[in-house]
A and B are shown apart, each in its own frame.
Chain A
Amino acid sequence: MSQGKPVFSAAEEKTLKGWTTRFPYPAMGLIEALRQVQEWRRHIGPAEESRLAEMFEVPLRRVHEVATFFPLFTQKPTGRRRIGICRGLSCELGGSDKAVRALKEKLGVGPGETTPDGEWSFEEMECLGACEMAPAAIVNEELVGAASEETARRIVSDPGKDFRTKTPVGPEPKEHRLLTKHFGEPGLETLEGYRKVGGYETLKKAIEMGPAKIAEEVKKSNLRGLGGAGFPTGMKWGTVPAKEKMPGPRYVVVNSDESEPGCFKDRVLIENCPHGLIEGLLIASLVIGSEDSFIFIRGEYKRQHLILEKALAEAEKAGLMGRNILGSGLSCAIRLTRGAGAYISGLDTALLETMEGKKAWPRQPPPFPTTHGLMNRPTVVNNVETLMMLPPLLGIGGEAFAAMGTAKCGGTAVYSISGHVEKPGVYEFPMGTPLRRIIEAAGGVRGGRKLKAVIPGGASTPVLTASEIDVAMDFDSLRGVGSFLGAGGIMVLDETVNMALAARNIERFLAHESCGQCTPCREGSEWTVRILERILEGQGCPEDIPNLNRTGENITGKVICALGDTVGSVTRAMMKKFPEDFKAGVAAANEKAGAAA
């Protein structure tokens, strides 16, 4: 129904139509097309949605669902520049509220508002994957660095300037560093620099070994999924049906959505060594038999997206990616595709939904993605770090890799560490290293203060007390003490932290990111936040703590995905280990009531 002026100009139509053919299925380009419209028009209106629905041959309802689900898309026009201050736990502890106040003064508008001249929109955002630069600031999807009050003002007066600092990668000495061994060497992010340190040699070796042998090595190596689930990679690959059983396309998707508060290692890995990821992905694609592989990267990693684009172009030009790789007859095209600001897109089935151009509601296996994944084809979703382990793994051999770690977790892991430490950054240690050691490598607690609590694997993992930091940092040991390794995002909290505040921060994040599909998470997360806010205001009632416990138990394990499980377990763990911080909020109310009576 085109009446009157067409919605898009001829050139715009051409660009948008391009997205219908860029991917194997037209609807897969919908989110990129929406991105484009958001960029041009600074919002997505009903006319634009209608036209896109026609173009991509999907119902209008679906386009509207996607446009209202992801935080990147707005229904009302934003400013030309969108500045966001992260309110993740490390950033809140790092002073994000001060940055917000400074920006409010400088811009004259508050969070969620746009300046009258239409130049700036100001938002509080969830974890941007830059916890070492707390409090992190982002402008139009490009990280700009740590926003102290001063820097926040300068970002506005000097837009386009990059205030980022180089993220420390450790530890020194490098003896146990497998993946990050060459980080810091000049030009590592270029093809030439990567080749200089032996890059793509393993790819050649892998082509000769063939899929079966590689799979064997990976199984032997005890490599576990390093995106959070910790599932043995070899076993996951093994569930993909053989080509004879299920002929047709199959895919490998790199999960570079990294939105867990406390985790930023994937970002650092891509910044330092994009070709490492490409090589790992090519090896995995070989094993699975995927000729079309994808890197799904979160929208807020725009700079990293450009780095990967450049590296992919280099690789393709050198015949390392695309058709007939290194003359072997094997083909694998790698394409980049971006998320649109939702944490839940980092969950494998929700990621696939996002890639298919739908809102990111997780699926309920069975069937599992390895048999029915992207567009119902066998799909393996692996984390960035997991795939980047493949070249070094094959380099030293599966057995040696396994020997570096613990009995069931092979090799090393790259841990992000942030919060109240001297040198927040990324540190690679063998699996099973005591947590204490990693904190020491990061310079210990900032300012020589006393340690109160450590969150070992990212905001969704149950907290540990200061006396529990001798635990070995691997999947099984942490499970043994009632927590998880997750994606290894360590957050260090010193004695100044009120754990009720930390709980509220994380639950608020979860309530904001809950996809809303299932009732316990959707209602329970928001309710938990409200109770915690009352407690923080000193308005808690005696039933609040038992209610939080009871609700938490009623959510964990009864929901569709792990985000929901987390909603129920985070606060319960904090209340169990730091009850005084919560009781204080209840006591204050009772005092007031007592005084008034």
Chain B
Amino acid sequence: MSDKKMISLTIDGKPVSVPEGTLVIEAARQLGIKIPHYCYHRGLGNPGNCRICACEVEGAPKPIQMSCRTIAAEGMKIHTSSPNARRFQSSSLEFHLDNHPLDCPVCDQSGECKLQDYYMQYGLYESAVREDKLHKGKRIPIGPHVMLDQERCILCTRCTRFTAEVTKTHELGVFGRGHREVVDLAPGRALDNAYSGNVVDICPVGALTDRDFRFKVRVWYLDETESICPGCSRGCSIYVHTNTKRPWHNEGRRVARLKPRENPEVNGFWICDEGRYGHKNLDEHRLGRVMRLKPRPEDLSWSAVLDEVAREIKEGSAAKGAEGLAVVASGMLSNEDWASFNELFVRTLKIKRFLFGPEPDQIGAEDDFLRRKEKAPNLRGGLELGFGREIKSLSWDELAKSIESGQTWGLYVVERDPARAWGTARAKALLERLDFLSFQSPFKGEAGDWAHYRLPATAYVEEEGHFTNFEGKAQKYSKALEPLGLARPDWQIFDDLRSRFMEGEGSSGRREKAGALA
């Protein structure tokens, strides 16, 4: 029975209608009214222990109630910013700050801290504490990715509820009693589950901070872009936080961190650690120069290199046969990339041999929560065009044999490093046998050193596009950064290359709006 009875009530004078059983704080959120809260979290329940979500219920025997523990009732009149409500929101904040250390200058949460934010919005009072504050543990690494500071902790229990109810791994608990309570690891445990980074997101203060992000850059320098994680075929929604304003921070890297973006249909409020910390490569070993490496290393323009590549393909096909050309790709391609890929290689060049299956270098750990074993975001985008259905993928073994036997003389590799599948030595040996190797990728990898032509492509943060996740949901990711060097999106390279094979058509292809391939 999905049809719940609807309840009407008034919040701050505005009417709202919600299904029976809705909490007042949620009804307010529907109206865009924000009530301060710490312990309440839509993904973790409403224990009601912080006492800051106070609202005034007109006419009730106890007018001040906690909006996260109060269920909306018909005809209720709620005031979230009356003097009385504000008084208790402010006093609860004061209690939270009574023993809170003056760590703002050294705390990474500064700038996105709910104690700071609420103080500016609801506090702005003079501190009345004249005594020494309570001291607890500081700078405790509790896991590979998380740092704990017990003094800053406001004991909202979000993190303990996360490890108890979401990951069900029970690493964290609140131990002790009363004002001496601390959040800590269960004895002998470490916070090393596959989703440990999420506790940093949910911690409203700087008690749990990210060790990877520690002291790298201040959050107010960061820009935020909506994107999709390319770590696996789940396609969790994320935010990419980039630092371009102060490039001397964060060791010169542009991407500072990734954070989950709420998506009730895909990942809820969470992302896995693999995805969260998989951004380091975006600023390392990147290709930015358009180059021919063999026979003579030379920087070229795009137009020149694509002419050469096209000529190599034409001449090689004429001399040795077009069946000797194979293409290596992967689910790293966006839907737009796949469309252009299809146009170029299948429809125009009539390539028959493709390798795009994820085994073995794009297969990893899987669980019953978010992680999927295909560590490429968009195999499904290729499936729509027949890749994996009518067009079968070679295996790396088959490809290796065909190179050794001479059947394959040329390889076009897109966004994949054959050295990860074959191992360095074998990959070098195999690839050096080829007469033609074009390597198009954002990352140099190892194979980038052995290619004939090196074409720099943009990483997903430097382009706009769509990934289709394993359930068939096409999701947009937006451009967060400018491309490095001369890098271009894959689809644009394919289109431009294709134009070299189209007699009489325009010099550069038009990009098809292939966004929502579902």
Contact = CB atoms under 8 A, between A and B. Distances in A.
Interface of A: 46, 49-50, 59-62, 64-65, 68-70, 342, 359, 364, 511-520, 522-527, 530-531, 534, 541, 543, 547, 550-551, 554, 557-560
B429 interface: no
A69 B95 contact: no
Contact of A527 (B129, B170, B177, B178): B129
Interface SS of chain A: helix
Contacts of A513: 177-178
B7 interface: no
26 contacts: A49-B187, A60-B170, A61-B163, A62-B170, A65-B175, A342-B177, A359-B177, A512-B178, A516-B180, A518-B50, A519-B49, A519-B51, A519-B52, A519-B92, A520-B51, A520-B92, A522-B95, A522-B181, A523-B98, A523-B179, A524-B98, A531-B131, A534-B131, A554-B91, A554-B92, A554-B95
Contact of A543 (B95, B128, B176): B128
Nearest to A1: B188
A125 to B, nearest CB: 14
A354 to B, nearest CB: 12
Interface residues of B, number: 45
A364 B177 contact: no
Contacts of A62: 170, 173
Given A518-B51, A560-B51, 17 more contacts: A61-B160, A61-B171, A64-B175, A342-B177, A364-B48, A511-B178, A511-B179, A513-B178, A516-B176, A516-B178, A517-B47, A519-B155, A520-B91, A524-B95, A525-B178, A534-B130, A558-B92
Contacts of A550: 91
Contact of A514 (B49, B69, B95, B179): B179
A518 B49 contact: yes
B178 A514 contact: yes
B182 to A, nearest CB: 9
Interface string B272-313: 000000000000000000000000000000000000000000
Contacts of B130: 534, 541
A359 B87 CA distance: 32
B222 interface: no
A152 to B, nearest CB: 28
B306 to A, nearest CB: 60
B186 A59 contact: yes
Contact of A522 (B91, B128, B155, B160): B155
Contacts of B54: 558
B189 A60 contact: yes
B128 A64 contact: no
A68 B185 CA distance: 13
B62 interface: yes
Contacts of A520: 51, 91-92, 95
Given A523-B96, A557-B62, A560-B49, A515 B177 contact: yes
Contact of B131 (A46, A530, A560): A530
Contacts of B129: 527
B51 A522 contact: no
A175 B175 CA distance: 52
Contact of A554 (B88, B174, B179): B88
Nearest to A71: B177
Interface string B57-99: 0000010100001000000000000000001100110111011
Contacts of A516: 155, 174, 176-181
Nearest to A59: B170
B172 interface: yes
B134 interface: yes
Interface SS of chain B: loop
Nearest to B189: A60
Contact of A517 (B49, B62, B186): B49
A360 to B, nearest CB: 9
B86 to A, nearest CB: 12
B154 interface: yes
B164 interface: yes
Contact of B186 (A61, A512, A554, A558): A61
B51 A69 contact: no
B38 to A, nearest CB: 8
B174 to A, nearest CB: 7
B186 A64 contact: yes
Interface of B: 47-52, 54, 62, 64, 69, 87-88, 91-92, 94-96, 98-99, 128-131, 134, 154-155, 160, 163-164, 170-181, 186-189
Contacts of B189: 60-61
A376 to B, nearest CB: 16
A137 B175 CA distance: 28
A59 B174 contact: no
The 8 closest A-B pairs by CB, nearest first: A554-B91, A59-B170, A61-B173, A46-B187, A61-B186, A514-B178, A526-B179, A68-B175
A558 B64 contact: yes
B354 to A, nearest CB: 48
B170 A61 contact: yes
A50 B189 CA distance: 11
B30 to A, nearest CB: 23
A50 B188 contact: yes
Nearest to B71: A366
A64 B187 CA distance: 8
Contacts of B188: 46, 50, 60
Contacts of B94: 554
Given A59-B186, A61-B171, A560 B178 contact: no
Q: Counting chain A CB atoms within 10 Å of each CB, which of B54, B170, B179 scores highest?
A: B179
Q: Counting chain B CB atoms within 10 Å of each CB, which of A61, A514, A520, A550 scores highest?
A: A61
A558 B177 contact: no
A519 B94 CA distance: 10
A530 B95 CA distance: 14
A522 B92 CA distance: 11
B424 to A, nearest CB: 39
Nearest to B184: A64
A519 B170 contact: no
Contacts of B172: 61
Nearest to B188: A46
A520 B174 CA distance: 17
Contact of A519 (B96, B131, B173): B96
A329 B129 CA distance: 64
B448 to A, nearest CB: 46
Contact of B179 (A50, A60, A522, A559): A522
Q: Counting chain B CB atoms within 10 Å of each CB, which of A62, A518, A519, A551 scores highest?
A: A519
Contacts of B48: 364, 518, 560
B51 A526 contact: no
Q: Counting chain A CB atoms within 10 Å of each CB, which of B172, B177, B179 scores highest?
A: B177
Given A526-B134, A541-B130, A519 B50 contact: yes
A550 B128 CA distance: 11
B164 A59 contact: yes
A64 B50 CA distance: 23
A527 B127 CA distance: 13
Contacts of A541: 130
A447 to B, nearest CB: 37
A515 B91 CA distance: 20
A46 B96 CA distance: 31
Contacts of B64: 557-558
Nearest to B156: A519
Contacts of A523: 95-96, 98-99, 179
A508 to B, nearest CB: 11
A50 B164 CA distance: 17
B51 A514 contact: no
Q: Counting chain A CB atoms within 10 Å of each CB, which of B49, B92, B170, B171 scores highest?
A: B49
A541 B128 CA distance: 11
B174 A65 contact: yes
A68 B49 CA distance: 20
Contacts of A69: 175-177
Nearest to A63: B186
Nearest to A564: B51
A551 B90 CA distance: 11
